[in-house]
Chains A and B, each alone.
Chain A
């Protein structure tokens, strides 16, 4: 049972219709992600990255092909079945946050845990830990609109992790962050990954991608590269002084 991949797609295709013209966004993707794996998806703008992760989260219907989650066919599910699946198994970080405007930051983060069946106490403890890790403890009672873009993005990540999802899907989660906030997000991602979190994350940020186990490159809706992230070892105890040689 545990041998099932968390995600597996077979010849997955998405063709949008735009003014009667077919726009192929994803063209035959076969992707397999094992439990505990961290996969970064990279590629130029318009290469189909968002479309792919939206389909994996059931937020966009596939045109053809198959999606399997934890060994169960998912592409044939209806909307309410997808909603249930997301609630129980999937955390999603959108490129543009999608926080609930009339709820506090704390409630935004606790809600998914409560919906997934956590007790109020568990939900609160988890919320406090996640907000703390992302440097947002002081913002718990704020409304999303009072937060800067980078803060909203971090709240969105905390919310996505609140129900301890078996799969975390994220679309450019550091796209709006400055380098210090990116560091907090990187640290949290590294921490949850170390604890076994399966992650599929779209990014153009090489710092984020370099934390992944694998990088999948998309071009024109197809996978053009899929490789394990290697380590480049200059010397075991290098210092910043080596950086000047790095690009030589």
Chain B
């Protein structure tokens, strides 16, 4: 969540609750909305690292509220994050380990593992299909995230085919 908060503060200073609202508005249902406690914990860490600074603003009839600003170091950290390519998906998942180790365990043959995994992926895809039908067509961010998950799943399935051709 750190880069999200830095990015929002680069736009304008804000207090914790405003940040929570902005995140919900930007991502819609694409990300589970963070609770306010998480946001304050993250802001505290960012402050300790010198990336943001808090200023107390007086309010009539209420306790002071803390408004957070981005520091120059925070700006640099945000730029560095934005400039860097993101880590790609990893194939070294648990299924691949099972597939490689199957002949040693003597528990399951590879064909059975691959078939079971394919059924699982297709069931996941069905779930994503239903999710996409339930999602408000105006929620572009959420729909793109679902489409991304579908494309990843398709790649996993295509790769299963390759495993089946070569290993069985």
Contacts and interface: CB of A to CB of B under 8 A. Distances in A.
Do the two shown chains form a genuine complex with each other? yes
Interface in B74-131: 89, 111, 115, 118-129, 131
A247 B121 contact: no
Nearest to B123: A232
Contacts of B146: 240, 243
B143 A240 contact: yes
A230 B154 CA distance: 17
Given A240-B30, A240-B139, A210 B126 contact: yes
B48 interface: no
A205 interface: yes
Contacts of B59: none
Contacts of A232: 120, 123-124, 126-127
Place the interface of chain A in its size category. Answer: 20 to 34
B115 A230 contact: no
B158 A204 contact: yes
Interface residues of B, number: 42
Contacts of B152: 247
A179 B147 contact: yes
A60 B111 CA distance: 30
Q: Is the interface of B mostly helix, strand, loop or mixed?
A: helix
Contact of B125 (A204, A206, A224, A234): A206
A170 interface: no
Contact of B154 (A205, A242, A247): A205
Contacts of B125: 206-207, 209-210
Nearest to B155: A206
A18 interface: no
A222 to B, nearest CB: 11
B123 A217 contact: no
Contact of A243 (B111, B149, B157): B149
B12 interface: no
A215 B118 contact: yes
Contacts of A179: 147
B46 interface: no
Contacts of B129: 186, 207, 210-211
A202 to B, nearest CB: 13
Contacts of B7: none
Interface string A233-245: 1100011111110
A217 B29 CA distance: 35
Interface string B137-168: 00100110111111011100110011011001
A219 interface: yes
A58 B23 CA distance: 58
Contacts of A207: 125, 129, 150, 154
A91 interface: no
Nearest to B89: A247
Contact of A239 (B123, B142, B149, B165): B142
20 contacts: A44-B161, A44-B164, A205-B154, A206-B150, A206-B153, A206-B157, A207-B125, A207-B129, A209-B125, A210-B123, A210-B125, A211-B126, A230-B119, A231-B126, A232-B127, A238-B131, A239-B131, A240-B28, A240-B139, A246-B124
Query: 4 nearest interchain CB pairs?
Result: A240-B142, A210-B126, A210-B125, A241-B32
Given A210-B126, A230-B123, 16 more contacts: A42-B118, A44-B165, A179-B147, A207-B129, A210-B129, A217-B118, A219-B165, A227-B115, A229-B119, A229-B123, A232-B126, A240-B29, A240-B139, A240-B142, A243-B148, A244-B32
